[in-house]
C-alpha cells in the first residue's frame, strides 16, 4: 500500500474509532492483547529475521532493544491490558456554561483523529502506541524504523486481528510499508490526513520534522537536563540526586547532563561530588569549566559544546555559577526545556528557580528521572513533549485528545 | 530594528512579563489604556497618513476598517480595561498529585513566552493583541499590514509608554518595522524566539504559515460553516437561524456559507427559505445543486467550487442531502472545521450530528454566529482556531498559556 493510501484509510477508519464507546474500545484492546500473545510464534519468526539482518550493523544495545522473546511479547500484551484499566479520555465535559438566554455551551474532549508516530527500532512501541491511540479514540499510523520492520509488521497484523474481532476497522492501526525516508516526508506533509505527528527518536528526526512538517507536530524527548546545587543545599540530598539523575539510566531523556554548582559552596561540594561519581561503577567522566577544574583532581576540561550536548552516557558537564539567578540564566541558554532541578533548603531560592525556569518539569530536591508518564500518575505515555503547545512533558491519553464546543439552543440567533 | 533584533528583544522581555504578578500586569494594562487615550492626537495624525496612502488602492470596507477616530481610540482603550477585569490565566493549578512517597507533582499554567501575531489592516488588533498577550504574561511581536503601519506604530509607541510607566520592559510589545513579506517569513522561522505564531488574515496568509512555519502556529479564522436543516426541523427556527447565520454579518468567519436540506422536506422548505433570503435586504444569492434548482424560482446553479468557497458575502450554496448521515459526510468533505449547525427537533439526529461532525463548534438549533470568545463567555478572543492542537475555536486568555510541572521532593530519587 502506498503511504497516501494508508493515510486515506486511516482517516476513514478514524471516524469509526472516534464513534466507538469506551466499552467497545476496551474490548478491542483486550482482543488486541490476546491476539498478540496468540501470534507469538509468527512475531518471533519475523523478529528473528530482523535481528539476523541487523547483526553487525547496529550496536549491542540496539540489538538488545530489537530482540523479542515470548516473555517480552507477553509484557507488551500486558501493557495493552493496563491501558484498558485507565479512564476513557474522551467525552469529558471540560467546561460548561449556560447563558442567560438559555444557550448551553459545553466544551467536550474528543479524539484528535489520526495520530502518526515515527519511531525507531523498539518493537514494543508498535503495540504501545497503537493501544494509546485506540484508547483515546484515534486511528494510528505507525512508521517503524527499518531494522524492526518485519517485527512491526507481524505485531501490527496481530493487533488488526484483535480490532476486527471487536468490530473496529483494522485500518485503525496501519503500519507504513515504505521504510525509506520518503514515507516519513509524506507523513510530515499529510495535511488533511494527519492530525498529529509524533516523532520519537534522535535529534535528526526531530529536526527534520520541525523543518519539513506541515502537519501539527509535537517534538519529544531531547533532554539536556540540569541540576543546580544551591549554596543552601543539603549535601547528602544533592549527592544522591545528582548520582541518581546521572547514573540510574543514562541513556534516557530525563537523565541529567549538566550539574551547576553555586560558587559559594563549590570548593566544598565539588570534591564530594567528584568522589561520589568517580566511585560509581562505571565511573562518570566530569567535564568542567575552568573554575571547577582548578578545584578538581580527576575532571577534564569541558569543550565549547559540552554544555549543549545530550551525552546519554556516563559523562556530565559541570560548572560553577554565581547563585540561583545565574543558574537559571545558564539554563535558559542551554536547556532543551525538558527537566531541571534545584537542590536547596532555601525556600526563596526554590521559588525563584521554579518560577524562572521555563521547562516542562521543574524539580525541587528531587531527581529529574521522575519525568515520566507512569511516575507522574498518567498511567502511560506516548512520549515526553519538549514543546509548549498542546502538550508539555509526559503525554498521556488526555494529550491525545482535543475538544469541541457543543452548543445547544432552541432557535437562538445573534 | 531588524526583525531578528526584535525577536531577540521580545524573548528577553518575555521573562520579565512572565515573572510579573497579576497586579503588575493589570497596572500596566491600565497605564497602556490611559496612554492610548493621551496619545490620541499622534495616533490620529499617523492614521491620516495611512488613510491618505490607502485611498484608491483598497475597498471602501477596508478603508472604513482602517480609519480611526477619537471614539474608536477610546473604544480600544476601554477594550484594554475590559481585559484587566478578567481573571489571571497564569498560575492556575491544573492538576495536583501527591505520591505515596511524598513527592508532590503540580501542573501549573504558565505563559507561552513570546507570541507573534501577523494581521492585516485593522488598527485595533494592535492594542487588542498586545493587551491579551500582556495579561497572559507573554511578550507580543506584532506584524501589522502595510496599509496600517503608521497607525500601528503610533499605537505601539503609546502602549510602550504605558508598559514603562508600570515598570515592565517596553520590549514586551514590539512592532515589526519591516512590512515586506520577508519579515513574515522571518517570524515563521524564528525557532527559539517565538513560542506561538498566530496568523490572522486571509487564506493566503494561513496557507503560507502552514507551508513555511517552523515555529508552532495556530491557524485561525477560515470558516466554511454549514447549516443542516433536518427532516424533523421546526421550519420557523430553521428559517431564522439560516437567515441570521448568513446575513447578520456575512464578512465574518462564523457566518454560514452552505445550507444542506434533508430531501424529505426540501420541496416544502426550500421555497420558504428562498422567499426569506431573497426578501432580505440585500437579497442573498442562492447557488443550488440540481435537486434544489429544479424546485427553485430564483436560484442559480452552483459551480463545482461553490461548496468549498468562503463567500463572506450575501451568497449561499444550497444542496439537498439524504438525511443527517449524508449531511455529516458532506461536511466532512467540505468543512474547514470551524462551526456547523443542525436544525432538528429529533434528539437522535442531533446526537448523531454533534458526535459525527468534527468541527470546533457544533450547534443544535442555534446560529453559527455565536462562535466568538465574548459570546462563549471567555471575555475576549485572540482569534478562532480551526486546528485541533492546543486550542480549538475561540482563543481566550487561557489558550495563550501553557503549563509546567513543578515537582517538590525531599531528596527523592528513582
pLDDT in tens, A381-400: 999 999 899 999 999 999 99
The least confident of A93-102, A125-134, A266-275, B207-216 is B207-216
Whether residues A411 and B361 touch (CB distance < 8 A) is answered with no
Give yes or no for residue A373 having a pLDDT over 90.
yes
CB contact, 8 Å: A337 with chain B? no
Q: Which of residues 63-102 of B touch A (CB under 8 A)?
A: 97, 99
Whether residues A414 and B244 touch (CB distance < 8 A) is answered with yes
Nearest CA in chain B to A337: B404
CB contact, 8 Å: B325 with chain A? no
Residue B248's nearest CA partner among A383, A313, A413 is A413
CB contact, 8 Å: A325 with chain B? no
What distances in angstroms separate CA B34 from CA A56, A66, A97, B17, B80, one per listed residue? 72, 65, 33, 19, 10
- Spatial separation of the C-alpha atoms in residues A366 and A237, rounded to whole Å: 8
Cβ count within 10 A of residue A47: 23
Cell of B61: 470596507
Phi first, then psi: what are they for B262, rounded to 5°?
A: -60, 130
Task: Place A188 in a pLDDT band, splitting at 50, 70 and 90.
Answer: very high
For chain B, the residue count is 414
Contacts of A403 (CB under 8 A, 6+ apart): A94, A107, A108, A109, A110, B392
Q: Which of residues 165-194 of A touch B (CB under 8 A)?
A: 191
- Spatial separation of the C-alpha atoms in residues B295 and A213, rounded to whole Å: 47
Cell of B315: 451568497
- Distance from the Cα of B386 to chain A's closest Cα (Å) equals 11
Nearest CA in chain B to A351: B406
Q: Are the CB atoms for B115 and B195 separated by under 8 Å?
A: yes
Q: Which residues of B24-58 are buried (b: 16+ CB within 10 A; e: fewer)?
A: bbbbbbbbbbbbbeebbeebbebbeebbeebeeeb
Cβ-Cβ contacts under 8 Å between A and B: the total is 198
Per-residue pLDDT at A213: 92
Residue B182's nearest CA partner among B215, B157, B152, B212 is B212
Residue B95 β-bridge partners? B107
- Spatial separation of the C-alpha atoms in residues A180 and A157, rounded to whole Å: 21
- Spatial separation of the C-alpha atoms in residues A197 and A141, rounded to whole Å: 9
Cell of B381: 478572543
Per-residue pLDDT at B259: 98
- Spatial separation of the C-alpha atoms in residues A252 and B191, rounded to whole Å: 25
Per-residue pLDDT at A94: 96
Cell of A90: 474522551
Measure the CA angle with vertex A405, ends A17 and B205; round to 5°: 95
Torsion of CA A344, A346, A350, A351, to 10 degrees: 180
Spell out the alpha helix ranges (H) of B166-265.
Answer: 181-188, 203-212, 235-247
Spell out which residues of chain B touch residue A15, defining contact as CB-CB under 8 Å.
332, 356
Rounded to the nearest integer, the mean pLDDT of chain A is 95
Residue A362 β-bridge partners? A340, B406
Tell whether omega for the bond before A61 is within 30 degrees of 0, i.e. cis.
Answer: no
Spell out which residues of chain B touch residue A103, defining contact as CB-CB under 8 Å.
366, 370
- Spatial separation of the C-alpha atoms in residues B386 and B395, rounded to whole Å: 10
Residues of chain B with pLDDT under 70: none
Q: Are the CB atoms for B252 and B225 separated by under 8 Å?
A: no
Residue A332 β-bridge partners? none
Residue B228's nearest CA partner among B361, B347, B341 is B341
Cell of B282: 440585500
Best to test chain B binding among A379, A389, A400, A403 (most B CBs inside 10 Å): A389
Nearest CA in chain A to B407: A363
Residue B375's nearest CA partner among A109, A92, A413 is A413
Per-residue pLDDT at A95: 95
pLDDT digits (tens, 9 = 90+) for A193-227: 999 999 988 788 888 888 899 999 998 878 999 99
Residue B70 β-bridge partners? none
Give yes or no for residue A376 having a pLDDT over 90.
yes
Best to test chain A binding among B107, B346, B409 (most A CBs inside 10 Å): B409
B365's enclosing H/E stretch is: strand B361-366
How many helices (DSSP H) and strands (DSSP E) are in chain A? Answer: 14, 16
DSSP state of A284: P
Q: Which of residues 394-413 of A touch B (CB under 8 A)?
A: 402-413
CB contact, 8 Å: A346 with chain B? no
Spell out which residues of chain B touch residue A377, defining contact as CB-CB under 8 Å.
97, 99, 105
DSSP state letters, A5-61: HHHHHHHHHHHHHHHS-HHHHHHHHHHHHHHHHHTHHHHHHHHHHHHHHHTTTS-HH
Best to test chain B binding among A210, A358, A401 (most B CBs inside 10 Å): A358
DSSP state of B345: S
Q: In a 10 Å sphere around its CB, with 0-12 CB exposed, 13-18 middle and 19+ buried, how is residue A112 labelled?
A: buried
Q: Which of residues 296-315 of A touch B (CB under 8 A)?
A: none
Is the Cα torsion angle A275, A276, A280, A282 positive or negative in sign?
Answer: negative
From the list B245, B363, B390, the residue facing A390 with the nearest CB is: B390
DSSP state letters, A138-153: -EEEEE--GGGHHHHH
Residue A229 β-bridge partners? A261, A343
Q: Are the CB atoms for B339 and B361 separated by under 8 Å?
A: yes
Q: In a 10 Å sphere around its CB, with 0-12 CB exposed, 13-18 middle and 19+ buried, how is residue B332 labelled?
A: middle
Residue B79's nearest CA partner among B134, B42, B116 is B134
For chain A, the residue count is 414
pLDDT digits (tens, 9 = 90+) for B131-188: 999 999 999 999 999 999 999 999 999 999 999 999 999 999 999 999 999 999 999 9
Cβ count within 10 A of residue A379: 16
Spell out the alpha helix ranges (H) of B55-144.
Answer: 60-66, 70-85, 124-135
Cell of A371: 519525568
Q: In a 10 Å sphere around its CB, with 0-12 CB exposed, 13-18 middle and 19+ buried, how is residue A287 labelled?
A: buried
Cell of B168: 515592565
Cell of B414: 528513582
- Spatial separation of the C-alpha atoms in residues A265 and A230, rounded to whole Å: 8
DSSP state of B220: B
From the list A350, A392, A412, the residue facing B367 with the nearest CB is: A412
Task: Place A65 in a pLDDT band, splitting at 50, 70 and 90.
Answer: confident
DSSP state of B370: G
Amino acid at each position: 500500500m502506498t503511504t497516501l493510501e494508508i493515510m486515506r484509510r486511516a482517516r476513514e477508519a478514524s471516524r469509526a474509532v472516534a464513534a466507538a464507546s469506551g466499552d467497545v474500545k476496551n474490548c478491542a484492546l483486550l482482543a488486541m492483547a490476546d491476539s498478540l500473545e496468540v501470534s507469538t510464534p509468527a512475531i518471533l519468526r519475523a523478529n528473528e529475521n530482523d535481528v539476523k539482518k541487523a547483526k553487525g550493523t547496529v550496536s549491542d544495545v540496539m540489538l538488545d532493544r530489537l530482540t523479542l522473546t515470548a516473555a517480552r511479547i507477553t509484557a507488551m500484551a500486558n501493557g495493552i491490558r493496563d491501558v484498558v484499566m485507565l479512564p476513557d479520555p474522551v467525552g469529558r465535559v471540560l467546561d460548561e456554561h449556560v447563558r442567560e438566554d438559555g444557550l448551553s455551551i459545553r466544551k467536550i474532549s474528543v479524539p484528535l483523529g489520526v495520530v502518526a508516530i515515527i519511531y525507531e527500532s523498539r518493537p514494543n512501541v508498535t503495540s504501545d502506541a497503537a493501544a494509546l491511540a485506540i484508547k483515546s479514540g484515534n486511528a494510528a499510523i505507525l512508521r517503524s524504523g527499518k531494522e524492526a520492520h518485519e517485527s512491526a509488521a507481524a505485531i501490527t497484523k496481530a493487533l488488526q486481528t484483535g480490532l476486527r474481532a471487536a468490530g473496529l476497522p483494522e485500518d485503525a492501526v496501519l503500519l507504513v510499508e515504505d521504510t525509506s525516508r520518503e514515507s516519513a516526508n509524506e507523513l510530515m506533509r499529510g495535511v488533511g490526513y494527519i492530525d498529529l505527528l509524533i516523532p520519537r527518536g534522535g535529534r535528526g528526526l526531530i529536526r527534520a520534522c520541525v523543518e519539513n512538517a506541515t502537519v501539527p507536530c509535537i517534538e519529544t524527548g531531547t533532554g539536556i537536563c540540569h541540576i543546580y546545587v544551591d549554596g543552601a543545599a543539603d549535601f547528602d540530598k544533592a549527592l544522591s540526586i545528582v548520582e541518581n539523575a546521572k547514573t540510574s539510566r543514562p541513556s534516557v531523556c530525563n537523565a541529567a547532563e549538566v550539574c551547576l554548582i553555586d560558587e559559594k559552596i563549590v570548593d566544598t561540594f565539588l570534591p564530594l561530588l567528584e568522589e561520589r561519581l568517580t566511585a560509581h561503577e562505571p565511573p562518570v567522566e566530569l567535564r568542567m569549566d575552568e573554575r571547577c577544574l582548578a578545584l578538581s583532581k580527576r575532571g577534564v576540561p569541558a569543550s565549547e559544546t559540552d554544555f549543549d550536548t545530550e551525552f546519554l552516557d556516563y559523562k556530565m558537564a559541570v560548572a560553577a555559577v554565581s547563585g540561583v539567578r545565574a543558574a537559571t540564566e545558564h539554563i535558559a541558554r542551554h536547556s532543551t526545556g525538558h527537566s531541571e532541578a534545584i537542590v536547596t533548603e532555601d525556600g526563596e531560592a526554590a521559588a525563584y528557580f521554579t518560577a524562572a525556569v521555563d521547562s516542562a518539569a521543574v524539580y525541587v530536591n528531587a531527581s529529574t528521572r521522575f519525568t515520566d508518564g507512569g511516575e507522574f500518575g498518567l498511567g502511560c505515555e506516548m512520549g515526553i513533549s519538549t514543546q509548549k503547545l498542546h502538550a508539555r512533558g509526559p503525554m498521556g491519553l488526555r494529550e491525545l485528545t482535543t475538544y469541541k464546543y457543543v452548543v445547544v439552543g432552541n432557535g437562538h440567533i445573534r
